[in-house]
Every structure is written in C-alpha cells, then in structure tokens.
C-alpha cells in the first residue's frame, strides 16, 4: 500500500503558512510516501515563482500540479523544464513549457502524475480535448499508480472524466474551484474521485481573495484590489491509500483543518 497526500490549491502566503502549520501534523498521523500539491496560486494568488517552489519543497511538498494560472509568473518559463516534479495541464499546446505528465520515484515505486484542464467555463488557453489526451497518456504509460489532477470549473466535466478513466488510473482529483466537495468515493473499477479537493488559504476569504475586493469584483465586474486575504489558515486535502500491485485505490479521506477544527486526521 502507498499513502499519498494531495493538497488543494495553495493560495498565497496564507496558503503556504497553512501547509507549513498543518503538514507536520498530518505526517505525524499518516506515514506518507508522497505529498503532491496544486501550486497554481501559491505566489500571491497567481502562478508559482521559483522562490515559492523552493519554499514549498523545504516545507515538504514533493511534487506540484498547476492549472489555468500556470503562466501567471512568467519566470516559470525559465525554470519549469529544469525540475522534474511539476506538471502543467497536458491538454495545452505542445509549444508550452513544462510537461503534462511525469513519473515520480517513491520508496514504494513509481507514481505517474498528470494534470488536465477542463474546457467548460475556463477561457484561458487553446485547450485540447482532455478525454482524448488522457487516453493517449494512459496508452503510453507503464506505471500502475496514476494520479490525475483534473483542474476544471464544471462538476459535470470532472465527474465525467472520472467515470471515463475508471479502472485505468488510481485517482481523479478535482481542483480549481477552491471549495472542498463532500463527494469523495471509489468508483467500481477502483479509481478514487472527488469533484474538488479544496484549497489552502485564508478561511475568511472568497476562494483566497480578500472579501471586499471579491464582493466589488462580483458586484461591479472589476476590482482595484483582488489581493490574497490574510488571517486564520484553512487546509484542504485528501489522503489516498493505493494498492501498489494493482494501482487501485483502497481509501480516499478528506482532510479539512483549521487551528480550531480537525476533520479527517
Ligand atoms: Fe486555483
Ligand atoms: Fe485554477
């Protein structure tokens, strides 16, 4: 059995502080073999700089997925191909820097990690069909254990993709909406799924953004200030237990932590 923690979108400094605060507590309770996090919002809510990548590696994150914000910090173009533990959506142009699917080494064996982006209600980028792209990735993969971060807005698209690959991958974990959903389950073929893992950031915020700025944006269609909120940290993730011989997931457990709340560990 291999135990993997997947952490929802880390949003700005408060999100990084949440990981710094809660990851050691989770590690105390679970003998984790691999820690994966969505890093697309980890630098001030938009993108991931090399400095923040290094900081999160020091805290104990082993690998990162991205999403629609992966090019927001332009310096990622210079460093993403020099590291071997970051994936950006696989179904964007082949000229885009970075890789969409990678293989990670753990003490329990190899783990494939793939990032996909949905096409419904996400305007950035020219996107290929994630269903076709994942077919070709799976066809060309040898690894039994395969985790997909399906970065998408629509619950329908995330749930559909989960059923589409059921029995062919270990887990399809939704990200992007920053709200943890309570629909985690293991499908008939052994693929774990959750519509959205959630996020790490300020509990009193709108998806990580400061509340007045978010209200102004939603009310008026623009805002002078959509900077990350600060304050009490929230940490969302899931812990997976996967059979290393079959690649099928045996359990998926939501983790939802705040300084005065402890769900899932
Ligand atoms: Fe995000
Ligand atoms: Fe996103």
Residue range 211-233: mean pLDDT, rounded: 94
* Sign of torsion over alpha carbons 197, 201, 202, 206: negative
Phi-psi group of 250: left, alpha or beta (phi > 0 → left; psi -120 to 50 → alpha; rest → beta): alpha
Report which bound ligand comes closest to the CA of 70: 2
* Residue 260: predicted pLDDT: 84
Spacing, Cα 175 to ligand 2 middle (Å): 7
Gap between the Cα atoms of 157 and 145, Å rounded:
22
* Residue 237: predicted pLDDT: 98
Read off the pLDDT of residues 247-264 as tens digits, 9 standing for 90 and up. 999 999 999 999 887 877
* Residue 38: predicted pLDDT: 98
Q: Which of 6-15, 126-135, 243-252 has the lowest mean pLDDT?
A: 126-135
Report which bound ligand comes closest to the CA of 68: 2
Residue range 233-242: mean pLDDT, rounded: 98
Residue range 98-120: mean pLDDT, rounded: 97
Three-class SS string for the chain? CEEEEEECEECHHHHHHHHHHHHHHHHHHCCCCEEEEECCCCCCCCCCCHHHHHHHHHHCCCEEECCCCCCCCCCHHHHHHHCCCEECCCCECCCCCCECEEEEEECCEEEEEEEEECCCCCCCCCECCHHHHHHHHHHCCCCCEEEEEEECCCHHHHHHHHHHCECCECEEEEECCCCCCCCCEECCCCCEEECCCCEEEECCCECCECHHHHHHHHHHCCCCCCCECCCCEEEEEEEEEECCCCCCEEEEEEEEEECCEEECC
Spacing, Cα 38 to ligand 2 middle (Å): 9
Residue range 62-73: mean pLDDT, rounded: 96
| Catalytic site residue from 69, 146, 151, 178 | 69
* Residue 24: predicted pLDDT: 96
Domain ranges of the chain: 2-263
Spacing, Cα 1 to ligand 2 middle (Å): 31
Mean pLDDT of the chain: 96
- In the chain, the percentage of residues whose pLDDT exceeds 70 is 100
**pLDDT category of residue 96 using cuts at 50, 70 and 90:** confident
Read off the pLDDT of residues 165-212 as tens digits, 9 standing for 90 and up. 999 999 999 999 999 999 999 999 999 999 999 999 999 999 999 999
Report which bound ligand comes closest to the CA of 39: 1
Spacing, Cα 66 to ligand 1 middle (Å): 8
- 69 in active site: yes
Q: Which two tokens stand for residue 4?
A: 């993997």
* Residue 191: predicted pLDDT: 98
CA 248 to chain centroid, in Å, comes to 20
Fold of 2-263: Purple Acid Phosphatase; chain A, domain 2 (3.60.21)
Gap between the Cα atoms of 253 and 236, Å rounded:
11
Residue range 44-55: mean pLDDT, rounded: 98
Spacing, Cα 41 to ligand 1 middle (Å): 5
């Amino acid at each position: 059995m291999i135990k993997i923690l997947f952490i929802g979108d880390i949003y700005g400094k408060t999100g990084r502080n949440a990981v710094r605060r809660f990851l050691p507590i989770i590690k105390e309770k679970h003998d984790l073999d691999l820690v994966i996090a969505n890093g697309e919002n980890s630098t001030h809510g938009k993108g991931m700089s090399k400095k923040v990548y290094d900081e999160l590696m020091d805290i104990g994150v082993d690998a990162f997925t991205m999403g629609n914000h992966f090019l927001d910090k332009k310096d990622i173009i210079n460093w993403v191909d020099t590291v071997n533990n970051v994936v950006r959506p696989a179904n964007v142009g082949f000229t885009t820097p970075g890789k969409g699917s990678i293989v990670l080494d753990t003490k329990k064996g190899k783990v494939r990690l793939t990032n996909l982006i949905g096409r419904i209600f996400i305007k950035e980028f020219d996107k290929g069909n994630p269903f076709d792209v994942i077919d070709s990735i799976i066809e060309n993969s040898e690894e039994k254990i395969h985790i997909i971060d399906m970065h998408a807005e629509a619950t329908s698209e995330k749930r559909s993709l989960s059923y589409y690959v059921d029995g062919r991958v270990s887990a399809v974990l939704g990200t992007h909406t920053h709200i943890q959903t309570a629909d985690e389950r293991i499908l008939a073929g052994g693929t774990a799924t959750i519509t959205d893992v959630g996020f790490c950031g300020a509990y009193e915020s709108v998806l990580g953004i400061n509340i007045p700025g978010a209200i102004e944006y939603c009310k008026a269609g623009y805002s002078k200030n959509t900077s990350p909120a600060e304050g009490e940290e929230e940490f969302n993730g899931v812990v997976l237990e996967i059979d290393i011989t079959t690649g099928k997931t045996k359990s998926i457990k939501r983790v939802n932590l705040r300084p005065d709340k402890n769900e899932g560990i």
